[in-house]
Structure 1
């Protein structure tokens, strides 16, 4: 028996009409095999396609679908979902299922064994099985180097879209988050460290990058620059303004 009784899993989704129904059904099938209560919170980050209507078509008591008209970013969507979450453990996983959600069993075990504050999926865990483009590996290495220099994280990989938080940690951290888009993972971990939630562990994942993304190639480099700018802003708020201490 696990010590917690309720899991909330947030699924931020943007332009995922191709996969969202399959994603939800797959997640529900996996979570229903466990002996605890759960909820799947789908947050549709902008009505730019039929993702919202497709998600709403899944009629399950364990699935809750929220959304808003204008795209605000993954960080905003996750924060929105965390605010709605009722679980003892609150996590999130990217829609599209490039990451195998069945690995949540291992993540939950790691959280239990270590009484962890946070468990993060990690491409660099020795037991991880990853398949994604070489260019992304280089960019990931570069960004990882920058964040380690700025924040001194003990974990090696901050950017995988699969994480679990104890409820008290998630609620305390995400109410302070300002980054609405892709650098929010780093901000959340930096805030957690600042608030004293340092029992953070990595968990293996299975990642198979499908090649489909809501991010166009045209916007890819803009996103990289925005991530760097947002990361610098997090450092400034953390180290200079002490904003997160409030």
Structure 2
């Protein structure tokens, strides 16, 4: 479980002084090198040389640690299914035509034992909706759809997404991405599809890429108006997709953008967390701290008591219009996230991280796309319906709102995470994300317009 931050600005724009106090402190600090050079020129030159060498070393380290973009082989751009043993070409997320209401993307690496349980729960739930002619939101509060649609003109993408949410579920797909497994995971998935008469599209990656790479590959070749990725261990109750769907229906923008994150933050004091080893809990809290420091560092003004600060614009007697801010996401790492197709088109093609920490980059990219849209057209962003309550509180006016929704989760044995080595890799990937977007080596996504 992690603590994501409102770090879209780190991707979308520069990080200059945020208040008069910050500007004053920044001006004082920037004057120190000039004074040092005036009185001690040799010391100043020595420090500049050391700083240049350290900066160059750090830059080279970032370049070395940055993952290389992997290209897909011909076999990885095809799938097999119970209905077709011959490889068929995969579709593209960037295609305009949606063919199913929901795509469920399941990344799997050596999941022969755990996968059938997850697939069974998934299929049983989705088939029950289809059999009983219920929608993904299970027909709750249909009036919301009409109110939201009448609040302003909706783009056709938003209409398609809303239809997928509120119409009885008729079409869905399961995309199983076998991430270089060696235990016959793909065979288990195909056998499950044959036994249950379900279309399971199996994509096999030649080499293990990591969870992030597998999820990206599956989403980029999905067909749904809605795209859910879910872990193969079945730790999250699949029926909670309806909870995520209801939240997404409330925050859906007129351009069809929204993202809902399953969260285990409410379980932080439960037995499932408290009774884990002290090392695992220590690493979890250290991850929270590092994530906050790297992606949402405190400013000087934020460290000074409020009564010493001056109000923005009071020097000129003017008032600034503040853009809406995405509330903090408390759990970034839960493997249960729901995207609209327009949102998936923005964030997944722009993502880079293949490892465990890829969720953080997706949230950053979504926030960046939202910030860029609001900066370009701040007065024109209409508010969405239902933002004022529960998990949707504080999302009013965002161009790409991200809701965090509590889900039912339980510990499942057989985790593929190597506690120490993967924790170090995750910490390094956080630095890589922050550095590459800060240095503009990685480009932000298009605005969510």
TM-score higher than 0.5 here?
A: yes
After the TM superposition, which residues 13-28 of structure 1 pair with which residues of structure 2 at under 5 Å, given as runs? 13-28=108-123
Deviation at 1:134, TM superposition (A): 4.7
- Partners in 2 of 1:63 and 1:214 — Cα distance? 23
Please tell me whether residue 236 in structure 1 is matched to residue 435 in structure 2.
Answer: yes
Deviation at 1:186, TM superposition (A): 0.6
Deviation at 1:85, TM superposition (A): 0.8
RMSD: 2.3
- Partners in 2 of 1:137 and 1:111 — Cα distance? 31
Deviation at 1:74, TM superposition (A): 0.4
Q: 1:31 aligns with which of 118, 126, 130?
A: 126
Q: 1:162 aligns with which of 333, 336, 345?
A: 336
Deviation at 1:161, TM superposition (A): 0.6
Deviation at 1:129, TM superposition (A): 7.2
- Partners in 2 of 1:127 and 1:9 — Cα distance? 27
Deviation per CA, 1:141-193, whole angstroms, max 9, x where unpaired? 32223223333462111011110111111121111111111110111111111
Deviates more, 1:71-80 or 1:116-125: 116-125
Deviation at 1:244, TM superposition (A): 2.5
Which of the pair is proportionally richer in strand?
Answer: 1
Report the counterpart of residue 173 of structure 1 in structure 2: 347
Does the aligned pair in 2 maintain the 1:75–1:181 contact within 8 Å?
A: yes
TM-score, normalised by the number of residues in structure 2: 0.50
Report the structure number with the largest CA radius of gyration.
Answer: 2
After the TM superposition, which residues 197-236 of structure 1 pair with which residues of structure 2 at under 5 Å, given as runs? 198-215=400-417, 219-236=418-435
Q: 2:230 aligns with which of 93, 97, 104?
A: 93
Deviation per CA, 1:23-71, whole angstroms, max 9, x where unpaired? 2122111122332221111111113111111111122443211112321
- Partners in 2 of 1:20 and 1:139 — Cα distance? 27
Deviation at 1:243, TM superposition (A): 1.9
* Higher normalized contact order (CA 8 Å, seq sep 6+, divided by chain length): 2
What number of residue pairs does the alignment pair up? 239
Q: Which runs of 4+ in 1 moved over 6 A?
A: 126-130
- Partners in 2 of 1:171 and 1:33 — Cα distance? 29
- Partners in 1 of 2:444 and 2:293 — Cα distance? 21
- Partners in 2 of 1:210 and 1:6 — Cα distance? 29
Unaligned runs of 5+ in 1: none
- Partners in 1 of 2:406 and 2:230 — Cα distance? 14
TM-score, normalised by the number of residues in structure 1: 0.88
- Partners in 1 of 2:245 and 2:271 — Cα distance? 20
